[in-house]
Chain A
Amino acid sequence: MNRTPESYSPEINDLLSRRSLLQTASCGFGYMALMGMCGEAAARDDTYKNPLAVRPSHFNPSAKRVIFLFMQGGPPQVDTFDYKPQLQKNGGKKVGNGTLMPSPFKFNRAGKSGLQISEAFPNLAKHADDLCLLNGMHTTNPAHPQATILAHTGSINFVRPSVGSWVLYGLGTENNDLPGFITINPPNRLGGAQNYGSAFLPACFQGTPIGGQGASSLPNLYNRELTSAQQRKQLDLVQKMNRELRERSGVNDELDGVIESFELAFRMQGKVPEVMDIKNESQKTLANYGIGRGKASDAFGKQCLMARRFAENGVRYIEVHHGGWDLHNGLKARLTKNAASTDAPIAGLLSDLKERGMLKDTLVVWGGEFGRTPAGQSAKGDGRRHNNRGYSMWMAGGGIRGGMRYGATDEFGDTAIKGKIHIHDLHATMLHQLGLDHEKLTYKYAGRDFRLTDVYGNVVKEILT
Chain B
Amino acid sequence: MRKLPLLLLPALALLFSSSSDLQAQKLTAKENAFFEKSIRPLLAKHCYKCHSKKAGKSKGGLYLDSQAGWMDGGDSGPAIKSGSPEKSLLIKAISYKDKDLEMPPKEKLSDSEIAALTRWVRMGAPDPRKGSKADKPPARSTIDIAKGRQFWAFKKPQKHAAPLPSNGTWALGDIDRFILKSLEEKKLKPAEDADRATLIRRVTYDLTGLPPEPEEIDSFINDKSPRAFETVVDRLLASKRFGERWGRHWLDIARYGESTGRTRNFPFTFAWRYRDYVIDSFNNDKPYDVFLREQVAGDILAKKYPQNKRDRLVATGFLAMGSKDLNERNREQYLMDNIDDQIDTTTRSVLALTVSCARCHDHKFDPIPTKDYYALAGIFESTEILSGLNARGQKGGYKATDKLIALSTRVKPDGAKISKTEVQLKKMQEHLQQLRTEMRERQKALGALNKKNTKKKGKDRTPAAEIAAQRKEHQKRIQELKKEVQEANRALNRKKNRGGGSAPTGDYAMGVTDAPKAVNSRVRIRGEVSNKGSEISRGFLQVLSGKKRPHFSGNSSGRLQLAAWLTSTENPLTARVMVNRTWHHLFGRGIVRTVDNFGETGERPTHPELLDHLALSFQEDDWSVKNLIRRMVLSRTYRMSSNYSEAHYAVDPGNELLWRMRQKRLDAESLRDSMLSIGGELELSRPVGSPVMKLPINEIGRSLARAKKTLDGNYRSVYLPIMRSFVPQILQTFDFAEPSMVKGSRDVTTVPTQALYLMNNPFVHRQSKNLARILMDKDGLTNAERIDLAYKLALSRAPTTFEAIRSLTYLKSFQDRNEEGSNPDLNALASLCHALFSVAEFRYLN
- With contacts A159-B323, A220-B761, A231-B759 known, is A447 near B601, CB below 8 A? yes
A204 at the interface (CB under 8 A from B): yes
Interface residues of A in 172-197 (CB under 8 A from B): 176, 179, 187-194, 197
A85 at the interface (CB under 8 A from B): no
Residues of B within 8 A of A442 (CB): none
- With contacts A202-B747, A245-B839 known, is A261 near B752, CB below 8 A? yes
Interface residues of A in 223-251 (CB under 8 A from B): 223-227, 229-231, 233-235, 237-238, 240-242, 245, 249-251
Residues of A within 8 A of B755 (CB): 258, 261-262, 264-266
Q: Are B745 and A39 in contact (CB under 8 A)?
A: yes
Closest 5 CB pairs of A and B: A250-B644, A145-B263, A265-B755, A447-B354, A38-B747
A-B contact sample (12 more), CB < 8 A, given A225-B830, A448-B354 = A39-B745, A157-B333, A159-B323, A199-B740, A199-B741, A203-B738, A203-B749, A204-B753, A222-B760, A238-B838, A255-B840, A448-B364
Q: Are A159 and B643 in contact (CB under 8 A)?
A: no
Q: Are B765 and A200 in contact (CB under 8 A)?
A: no
B141 at the interface (CB under 8 A from A): no
A90 at the interface (CB under 8 A from B): no
How far is it, in angstroms, between the C-alpha of A283 and the C-alpha of B742 when the chains are bound?
52
How far is it, in angstroms, between the C-alpha of A385 and the C-alpha of B337 when the chains are bound?
28
A143 at the interface (CB under 8 A from B): yes
Q: Nearest residue in A to B529 (C-beta to C-beta)?
A: A157
Q: Are A241 and B841 in contact (CB under 8 A)?
A: yes
Query: A102-125 vs B: 1/0 string, CB under 8 Å?
Result: 000000000000000000000000
Interface residues of B in 798-846 (CB under 8 A from A): 803, 806, 810, 813-815, 817, 827, 830-832, 834-835, 838-841, 843-844, 846
A254 at the interface (CB under 8 A from B): yes
A52 at the interface (CB under 8 A from B): yes
- B contact face: mostly helix, strand, loop, or mixed: loop
Residues of A within 8 A of B365 (CB): 447-448
Among B749, B814, B830, B831, the residue within 8 A (CB) of A202 is B749
Residues of A within 8 A of B843 (CB): 258
A80 at the interface (CB under 8 A from B): no
Which of A38, A44, A257, A446 lies at the interface centre, i.e. has the most chain B CB atoms within 10 A of its CB?
A446
Residues of B within 8 A of A220 (CB): 753, 756-757, 759-761
Q: Are A447 and B263 in contact (CB under 8 A)?
A: no
Interface CB pairs A-B, < 8 A, 25: A40-B601, A47-B653, A51-B751, A146-B263, A146-B327, A156-B325, A157-B333, A159-B323, A159-B738, A159-B740, A159-B741, A192-B701, A197-B738, A198-B738, A219-B756, A219-B757, A221-B756, A222-B760, A249-B644, A254-B748, A261-B750, A265-B753, A269-B759, A448-B354, A448-B357
B736 at the interface (CB under 8 A from A): yes
Residues of B within 8 A of A262 (CB): 752, 755, 759, 838
Smallest beta-carbon distance A70→chain B, Å? 16
A366 at the interface (CB under 8 A from B): no
How far is it, in angstroms, between the C-alpha of A159 and the C-alpha of B649 when the chains are bound?
40
How far is it, in angstroms, between the C-alpha of A230 and the C-alpha of B819 when the chains are bound?
14
Residues of B within 8 A of A335 (CB): none
Q: Are A194 and B729 in contact (CB under 8 A)?
A: no
- With contacts A146-B327, A213-B704, A265-B759 known, is A46 near B654, CB below 8 A? yes
Interface residues of B in 699-736 (CB under 8 A from A): 699-702, 704, 725-726, 729, 732-733, 735-736
How many residues of A sit at the interface, in one of the four size bands?
35 or more
B265 at the interface (CB under 8 A from A): yes
Smallest beta-carbon distance B790→chain A, Å? 13
How far is it, in angstroms, between the C-alpha of A234 and the C-alpha of B839 when the chains are bound?
11
Interface residues of B in 343-358 (CB under 8 A from A): 344, 348, 354, 356-357
Among A39, A188, A197, the residue within 8 A (CB) of B704 is A188
Q: Nearest residue in B to A47 (C-beta to C-beta)?
A: B653
A149 at the interface (CB under 8 A from B): yes
Among B265, B599, B831, the residue within 8 A (CB) of A189 is B265
How far is it, in angstroms, between the C-alpha of A233 and the C-alpha of B646 when the chains are bound?
34
Residues of A within 8 A of B285 (CB): none
Q: Are A193 and B725 in contact (CB under 8 A)?
A: yes
Residues of B within 8 A of A325 (CB): none
Query: B647-664 vs A: 1/0 string, CB under 8 Å?
Result: 001000111100000110
Among A192, A219, A241, A249, the residue within 8 A (CB) of B839 is A241
Q: Are B840 and A44 in contact (CB under 8 A)?
A: no
Among B364, B649, B751, the residue within 8 A (CB) of A251 is B649
- With contacts A189-B265, A234-B835 known, is A40 near B747, CB below 8 A? no
Which of B323, B599, B642, B751 lies at the interface centre, i.e. has the most chain A CB atoms within 10 A of its CB?
B751
> Which residues of A are in contact with B by a Cβ distance under 8 Å?
37-40, 42, 44-48, 50-52, 143, 145-146, 149, 156-157, 159, 176, 179, 187-194, 197-200, 202-204, 208, 213, 218-227, 229-231, 233-235, 237-238, 240-242, 245, 249-252, 254-255, 257-262, 264-266, 268-269, 444, 446-448
Smallest beta-carbon distance A55→chain B, Å? 15
- With contacts A245-B840, A448-B364 known, is A261 near B357, CB below 8 A? no
Smallest beta-carbon distance B106→chain A, Å? 13
Q: Nearest residue in A to B364 (C-beta to C-beta)?
A: A448
Q: Nearest residue in B to A265 (C-beta to C-beta)?
A: B755
Residues of A within 8 A of B354 (CB): 446-448
Residues of A within 8 A of B662 (CB): 46
Residues of A within 8 A of B597 (CB): 40, 446-447
B261 at the interface (CB under 8 A from A): yes
Query: B315-358 vs A: 1/0 string, CB under 8 Å?
Result: 00000000101011100010001001000100010000010110
- With contacts A159-B261, A446-B597, A447-B365 known, is A194 near B644, CB below 8 A? no
- With contacts A157-B337, A220-B757 known, is A265 near B357, CB below 8 A? no
Residues of B within 8 A of A44 (CB): 654, 656
How far is it, in angstroms, between the C-alpha of A220 and the C-alpha of B337 when the chains are bound?
38
How far is it, in angstroms, between the C-alpha of A223 and the C-alpha of B764 when the chains are bound?
11
B673 at the interface (CB under 8 A from A): no
How far is it, in angstroms, between the C-alpha of A17 and the C-alpha of B664 when the chains are bound?
28
How far is it, in angstroms, between the C-alpha of A255 and the C-alpha of B665 when the chains are bound?
11
Which of B263, B337, B665 lies at the interface centre, i.e. has the most chain A CB atoms within 10 A of its CB?
B263
- With contacts A44-B656, A223-B759, A444-B601 known, is A193 near B726, CB below 8 A? yes
